[in-house]
Structure 1
Amino acid sequence: MATWTIVMLVVLVVLIAALVALSIYGKKLQERQEQSQQELENASQNVSLLVIDKKRMKLKEAGLPQLILDQTPKYMRGRKVPIVKAKIGPKIMSFICDEKIFEVIPVKKEVRAMISGIYIMGVKGLHTNLDARQTKLKFTDKMRLKMDSLKGKK
């Protein structure tokens, strides 16, 4: 009986130590992320650009500079990312975009964007307001709406 309690105490101590280590590591990662976000905001600038095309594609196929491909981790190179091809003045460039902003960007329209390097951080409509496209409702959401409307009729 005493060996069983010793084993349980050792397991409990190991679990607590792992939890503490993970929380410390998580705080460090969060601080790094906040610091890099602050650096992006400090280096950002507002430009008007004409969006030519937008797609989700792999970094190798996106036409980004070789320096960018070399700096990305190997596990990210095969992943599809939102890419926006836009014209700024006489130049046509490829930009990486945030997922939330990607849905809002209109194709073949001029927008005012906040960019930092090749990363689009924010978008505002130049001549019109930008609205996100409505996403398709899932089956469960449709059924929930029907049930709510039926309850409301009673």
Structure 2
Amino acid sequence: MPVWAVLLIILVIMAGILAALYFYGKKMQQKQEDNRAQLEAAAQNVSMLVIDKKRMKVKDADLPKIVMEQLPKRYMNSKMPIVKAKIGPKIMSLIAEEEVFDLIPVKAEIKASVSGIYILSIRNFRNAEVAPPEKKGFMAKLRKKQADLTKKQ
């Protein structure tokens, strides 16, 4: 078989794979938009006092048992943005969106748009200054570790 025939077969297979991925991506994007619309339709504005926020594993987050059963198994060991907040008399663990998680102030009262246990957006802050987290470089982290080690000795 000539080389050009092998390359032509490989090219046809690659084109088929790319076409399949394109249509699969469109289908998944449509599904995500539908889910997003359902979340926004069921959203309520809630006033809450944020106690703590962390990126932690879903197993350790103290989420309700029903939520744990419905979550796919691949998410059990992945870290998610979890917010512990006092809503009324109850302390609840909520899941925040990635974009919203960095904006949430700790130990402050906020009004947020919540759908179930999912924080969609923040409406307003009450007496809370939100400072963007400082990003440290690799060398700064090394210097800090070195300083900590010298203090211990």
* Residue 60 (str. 1) matches residue 45 (str. 2): no
Q: CA deviation at 1:135?
A: 3.0
Q: CA deviation at 1:137?
A: 5.5
Q: Which runs of 5+ in 2 are unaligned?
A: 139-153
Where does structure 1 differ by over 3 angstroms across 4 or more consecutive aligned residues?
128-132
The answer for the alignment partner of 1:45 in structure 2 is: 44
SS in 1 for 2:7: helix
The answer for the alignment partner of 2:14 in structure 1 is: 15
Aligned amino acid, residue 93 of structure 2: S
Between the aligned partners of 2:129 and 2:9, the Cα distance in structure 1 is 57
- Aligned-pair Cα RMSD in Å: 1.8
* Residue 85 (str. 1) matches residue 89 (str. 2): no
SS in 1 for 2:111: strand
TM-score (norm: length of structure 2) = 0.83
The answer for the alignment partner of 2:106 in structure 1 is: 107
The alignment-based identity, stated in percent, is 49
Aligned length: 139
Between the aligned partners of 1:67 and 1:49, the Cα distance in structure 2 is 23
Q: CA deviation at 1:101?
A: 1.1
SS in 1 for 2:66: helix
Between the aligned partners of 1:126 and 1:105, the Cα distance in structure 2 is 9
Q: 1:134 to 1:64 in 2, by over 3 A?
A: closer
Aligned amino acid, residue 42 of structure 1: A
Aligned amino acid, residue 56 of structure 2: M
Aligned amino acid, residue 113 of structure 1: A
Aligned amino acid, residue 132 of structure 2: R
Residues 108 and 128 of structure 2 are in contact (CA less than 8 Å); yes or no, is this contact kept in structure 1?
Answer: no
Q: Which runs of 5+ in 1 are unaligned?
A: 140-154
SS in 1 for 2:2: helix
Between the aligned partners of 2:50 and 2:136, the Cα distance in structure 1 is 28
Q: 1:134 to 1:58 in 2, by over 3 A?
A: closer
TM-score (norm: length of structure 1) = 0.83
The answer for the alignment partner of 1:142 in structure 2 is: none
Aligned amino acid, residue 82 of structure 1: P
Q: CA deviation at 1:8?
A: 1.2
Between the aligned partners of 2:39 and 2:127, the Cα distance in structure 1 is 26
